[in-house]
Structure 1
Amino acid sequence: MKKVALVIATAILSVGMLMGQAKKPTLMVVPSDNWCKQNGFMLKFDNQGTVEELPDYKKALQGSSDLILVIAKISQLMADRGFPCKLLEQELKKLSQESAEDAMLTSKSGSGVAESPIDKLYKSAKADIILQITWSVNVTGPKKSVTFVLQGIDAYTGKQIASASGTGAPSFSAELPVLLEEAVLAHIDNFNNQLQNHFDDMFANGREIIVRIKKFDSWPDDFETEFDGKELGQIIEEWFQNNTVKGRFNTTDATANFMLFEQVRIPLYDANGKAMDARSFLRGLQNYLKNPPYNLTSKLMIKGLGQATLVIGEK
């Protein structure tokens, strides 16, 4: 009996150690688009001729002391429950010290990418799960309360994985962090349970990522080019079928020059027990296509844990 108990304990310990090595998504609290719009913290972004309006996080942090207090309070509440958050302000400061990324990716020979440029805004996020917070202060006589909406968004799939909303009880306190905490406390544990369920799903069914396959315009072939009677696009799809968890992925778009795979479920660990992310997963396809009969050179790019792009034709 003792021997059986020892075996079970050892197995549990091994699983715990293995799970501890997994790359857990990082969190970052940001103001919602709605809050930024209502408070005038927006910027114009020229997306290849189409002007888009986007939240200006830097301007918001510089112009609203309340925002800094709110982010700090939500981050503290999450950290107290085992979910540490990256601080938006610190991430923006770090990124401002780095050189700006070119709007159009080029290869070493100077050839442009056949499809779209890298999305600078999403690349700057550097977080896997974005916690969007919206709040407003209600005043009833001498008392105040806070109404809030908190959403957990997968930064690279765009899926909402958790949400909470509510209004705190009226209070004589004038401190926004206190009012916010009073409003959030009744909902935060359920919100965190939703986050944990998302993590548990990844342990059971693999991590979900997005993969884009593109081509340099200098490469004379495309994804309809045949190798041993099969089009390259079909060969790539078969590789995904054989290397995803339970063969789970969705070919959202497939043309002669571009392929988009969403809901791609990848193993949490590789054959050596090392935690896997989008980069290490797609590296397998890159190496596969580098060998005969394909002999294809390609460039691999990543965004955090959850998104990777393979551009075929050069490096």
Structure 2
Amino acid sequence: MRKLLCTACLFLISFSICFSQAKKPILMVVPSDAWCKEHGYMTEYDNQGTKVSVPDYKKAFQSDPQLLLVISKINGMMAERGFPAKNMESAIKSLELEESEDAILISKASSSQIAESPIDKLKKTAKADIIIQLTWTLNQNGPKNSISFILQGLDTYTDKQIAEAGGTGASSFSADVPTLLGEAVISYMDAFNSTLQAHYDDMFANGREIVVRIKKFDAWPYDLETEFERKDLASAIEEWMRLHTQNHRFNLSDVTENMMLFEQVRIPVVDDAGVALDARGFVKNLQQFLSDKPYKITSKLVMRGLGQATIILGEK
């Protein structure tokens, strides 16, 4: 009996450890937009005719020898506390490979290329749950130096700030920037990580938050008020959302005969098979539902970033 109890206890401890490790969020530390702008590491891209300025991370890594050391320092501090961090330099290299592949992909109908912002591409390539934006400033007071810093934890799906820490470290005559930064950050790190973990625990319990839009092409002869088997299409979609969201949590913010807007949609972090589920996978399931009987609706799925998905009814 005693042996059985010991075995059971060991099993529960092992399960608890594995479950705890499985719930750790994946992070990536990046220099903030403000830091990149201050140091001249920005670039522009064309967003449907509008010029948008975004950080040029590759240029920053190639031009600033301290950046890699600073990012590595924070990555190491996160790893020591059990939070795996993606290496940003490696993510940039993977992004360059993906961009070279995307450059040769064009639409069959219109010969248009894939439209996606550089930041969205980086988030998708890194597959991080949380982006940690880091801003730091070197303060010089005579022969002494100190570091002021801000850490911001951002959910990659919603871009909402979920954790923040900031302060100024002690002055030093000889310490380098990474060392000064580490000394400044260390007293805030545990509280910062606890806030990140609380957010991730909430995601596992209540689902990852996304936004889902339903629209229609002008040429499609039906709309969301069209009835299928005595139920209008909008009601059928709302019922599907209720059945498939985590704890039935979502907010139908707006609905007309031509569009629906679902906000604060909570989707499971993993599906029934234990496989990680993202916004695209979740909305693909809705798209499949609409393509089956009795609807048989052809539709197009468009992603904006990691957490916003739009289904456009009537055509591909």
| Shift of residue 89, structure 1, vs aligned partner | 1.9
1:229-266 Cα shifts (integer Å, max 9, x gaps) = 54433322221122212221123455555544332112
Aligned residues of 2:30 and 2:88 also touching (Cα < 8 A): yes
Aligned residues of 1:25 and 1:305 also touching (Cα < 8 A): no
Question: What TM-score does the superposition give when structure 2 sets the normalisation length?
Answer: 0.82
Partners of 1:12 and 1:308 lie apart in 2 by: 40
Partners of 2:102 and 2:212 lie apart in 1 by: 20
Change beyond 3 A, Cα 1:36–1:269: closer
Q: Map residues 116-131 of structure 1 onto 2, 5 A cutoff.
A: 118-126=116-124, 127-131=128-132
How many residues end up aligned between the 2 structures?
Answer: 311
- Verify: 1:163 aligned to 2:161, yes or no: no
Aligned residues of 2:25 and 2:84 also touching (Cα < 8 A): no
Partners of 2:210 and 2:298 lie apart in 1 by: 23
| Matched position secondary structure for 1:53 | strand
Aligned residues of 1:105 and 1:118 also touching (Cα < 8 A): no
- 1:232 aligned partner: 233
- Verify: 1:197 aligned to 2:198, yes or no: yes
Aligned residues of 1:207 and 1:266 also touching (Cα < 8 A): yes
Aligned residues of 2:153 and 2:163 also touching (Cα < 8 A): yes
- Point out the more displaced range, 155-164 or 59-68: 59-68
| Shift of residue 21, structure 1, vs aligned partner | 5.3
- One-letter amino acid matched to 1:179: L
Aligned residues of 2:25 and 2:197 also touching (Cα < 8 A): no
Aligned residues of 1:21 and 1:274 also touching (Cα < 8 A): no
Q: Map residues 107-118 of structure 1 onto 2, 5 A cutoff.
A: 110=110, 118=116
1:162-181 Cα shifts (integer Å, max 9, x gaps) = 11101101112341110000
| Shift of residue 85, structure 1, vs aligned partner | 1.5
Aligned residues of 2:120 and 2:306 also touching (Cα < 8 A): no
| Shift of residue 285, structure 1, vs aligned partner | 1.5
| Matched position secondary structure for 1:91 | helix
- 1:80 aligned partner: 80
Change beyond 3 A, Cα 1:291–1:28: same
- Verify: 1:90 aligned to 2:87, yes or no: no
1:6-47 Cα shifts (integer Å, max 9, x gaps) = 76765665566566556x543111111111121122223332
| Shift of residue 148, structure 1, vs aligned partner | 0.1
| Shift of residue 135, structure 1, vs aligned partner | 0.4
Partners of 2:115 and 2:215 lie apart in 1 by: 11
- 2:70 aligned partner: 70
- One-letter amino acid matched to 1:155: T
Q: Which runs of 5+ in 2 are unaligned?
A: none
Partners of 1:199 and 1:282 lie apart in 2 by: 22
- Verify: 1:177 aligned to 2:178, yes or no: yes
- Point out the more displaced range, 28-37 or 184-193: 28-37
- 2:53 aligned partner: 53
- One-letter amino acid matched to 1:132: Q
Change beyond 3 A, Cα 1:122–1:264: same
Question: What TM-score does the superposition give when structure 1 sets the normalisation length?
Answer: 0.82
1:115-138 Cα shifts (integer Å, max 9, x gaps) = x95445313322331110100011
- Point out the more displaced range, 8-17 or 27-36: 8-17
Aligned residues of 1:128 and 1:304 also touching (Cα < 8 A): no
Aligned residues of 2:145 and 2:171 also touching (Cα < 8 A): yes
- 2:211 aligned partner: 210
- 1:286 aligned partner: 287
Partners of 2:17 and 2:287 lie apart in 1 by: 32
| Shift of residue 309, structure 1, vs aligned partner | 4.4
Change beyond 3 A, Cα 1:182–1:268: same
- One-letter amino acid matched to 1:46: D
Aligned residues of 1:45 and 1:52 also touching (Cα < 8 A): yes
- Point out the more displaced range, 171-180 or 263-272: 263-272
Partners of 1:192 and 1:45 lie apart in 2 by: 34
